[in-house]
Amino acid sequence: LPLALARMIGRAEIIATLSARMQRQRLVTIVGPGGIGKTTLALGISETMLAAYPDVVTAAPRRTSVPAP
């Protein structure tokens, strides 16, 4: 996982909730407008899941631009 550039503040409850949900469901989708911290939240959840699933938790590279046709 990438290193966190900043400490998350005020996200402990949602991280705990979504981490518990991921124990029961294969897929959890985080949606919202750009800039609200979806990626940061996903990385926080991944860090909590890493101890339980060390061989499964990974971060996929993000594509920031679409190549021209």
What's residue 10's pLDDT? 86
Query: Tokens representing 64?
Result: 């920031």
Q: What is the mean pLDDT of the chain?
A: 82
- In angstroms and rounded to an integer, the radius of gyration of the C-alpha atoms of the chain is 13
**Residues 42-49, mean pLDDT to the nearest whole number:** 87
**With contact defined as beta carbons under 8 Å apart, do 22 and 49 qualify?**
yes
Q: Which pLDDT does position 48 carry in this prediction? A: 86
Q: Which residue has the higher pLDDT, 36 or 57?
A: 36
Query: What local confidence, expressed as pLDDT, does residue 7 receive?
Result: 77
Q: At what angle do helices 12-24 and 38-50 cross, to 10 degrees?
A: 60
